Amino acid sequence: MKALKLYGKKDLRFEEAEKPVIEKSNEVIIKVKAAGICGSDVSRYAKLGPYVEGMIWGHEFCGEVVEIGSDVHHVQIGDRVAGCPTFYCGKCDSCKKGILSQCEKLTVIGSRYPGAFAEYVKLPKENVLPLPDTIDFDTAVFIEPSAVVVHSLYRTTMIPEAEIAVVGCGNIGLLAVQWAKIFGASKVYAIDIDQKKLNIAKEVGADVVMNSLEKPAYDQLMEWTDGKGVDIAIESAGSPITSAQVFALAKRRGQVVFMGIPYGDVNIERFYFEKIVRNELTVLGSWNAISAPFPGKEWSTTIDYMKKGKMNVKPLISHRLSLKEGPEIFSKITNKEGFYGKVLFYPEMT
């Protein structure tokens, strides 16, 4: 089969790979219909390199069941499915407490196990989720990143009528805008430096968009909130700059949630850091998208709301490509050659 393999930093190759085979009775082989590029994929391509040299890459995907082990009964050959790409050990202290996202051996396909930028991928049966007929493949690709966002909101004490600020309108931020509204937010402020992303944020439900290149986000938000700030500020940009400034956006006794990972030191000016202490902020980190019972309510909630048509992901998709275009598109994204939202690969496309 054809696949994308990551050999080193900026060394992604489109080449032949061994097709997965059933080795255990609980395994499912899925023909990949669509797979998406995650922001973490871009960072690993450009800055970090692979966990395992030459690993088949990719973890956001959906597809069709083509083969099942003898102990698999919840899906049949031909079923449309999504895949939770995450593996947990079930034995460490965190797993025993049911905090699966903090598993000491947490990993995903595409890192230490063959991933979904390929014609076929293999998963244990508990990682395979049947898709309702109302969820098309393009939408289903977003189930995993959507579950990441839902996981972060479940970490908060968000209540209806809360006001939310989302810093960074990449794909995660744009999903956060929508989930904040679903969770009952009365007003969602979307903040970015890219007007194209802000336009999409407005399209998918943001009440107010702010371009922080025009005026500092803090100044704009204080004008909108009469100097109070928001109940919850979500950092989804993964920038060292916004990771420092986000503390000033939350109101007194507010919450700050970090979903983005800044691949660089975060230097916090006194003005921003003092907000944590003086405003008695609650600062939360959010990692991955799983909980107990596995894969967690993040996944069932996402699938349920997608089934109901409550998630609008189509405006997020900017490119639909074949796998062989993978090396070129990652190079272009890294070199900032054009605008990129969610990039989807279709292994069947030639």
Domain region containing 85: 2-144+289-345
Domain identity same for 8 and 131: yes
Considering the entire predicted model, what is its pTM? Answer: 0.97
Domain identity same for 211 and 184: yes
CATH code, 313 = 3.90.180.10
Q: What is the pLDDT of residue 263?
A: 84
**In the numeric block, which tokens belong to residue 130?**
């049947």
Domain identity same for 100 and 29: yes
Among the candidates 259, 285, 311, a domain finishes at: 285
**Per-residue DSSP letter, 131:** P
Domain identity same for 105 and 132: yes
Domain identity same for 129 and 9: yes
Pick from 109, 124, 113, 126: which is nearest to 35 by CA? 109
Domain identity same for 41 and 72: yes
Structural domain contains residue 150: no
The separation between CA 63 and the C-alpha centre of its own chain, rounded to angstroms, equals 18
Domain identity same for 132 and 43: yes
Domain identity same for 250 and 308: no
CATH code, 202 = 3.40.50.720
Structural domain contains residue 328: yes
Q: What is the pLDDT of residue 154?
A: 97
Kindly tell me the burial class for residue 71, based on how many C-beta atoms sit within 10 Å of its own C-beta (0-12, 13-18, 19 or more).
exposed
Domain identity same for 200 and 311: no
- At 120, phi and psi to the nearest 5? -140, 150
Q: What is the pLDDT of residue 220?
A: 98
Structural domain contains residue 151: no
Q: What is the pLDDT of residue 51?
A: 95
Structural domain contains residue 222: yes
Domain identity same for 15 and 130: yes
Concatenated DSSP letters for 174-185?
HHHHHHHHHTT-
Concatenated DSSP letters for 67-101?
EE-TT--SS-TT-EEEE--EE--S-SHHHHTT-GG
Q: Which residue stretches of the chain are H helix?
A: 39-43, 93-96, 137-140, 143-154, 171-182, 195-203, 217-224, 240-245, 270-278, 297-307, 326-334
Q: What is the pLDDT of residue 350?
A: 84
Query: What is the total count of domains within the chain?
Result: 2
Domain identity same for 209 and 317: no
Q: What is the pLDDT of residue 74?
A: 98
pLDDT < 50: residue spans in the chain: none
Structural domain contains residue 350: no
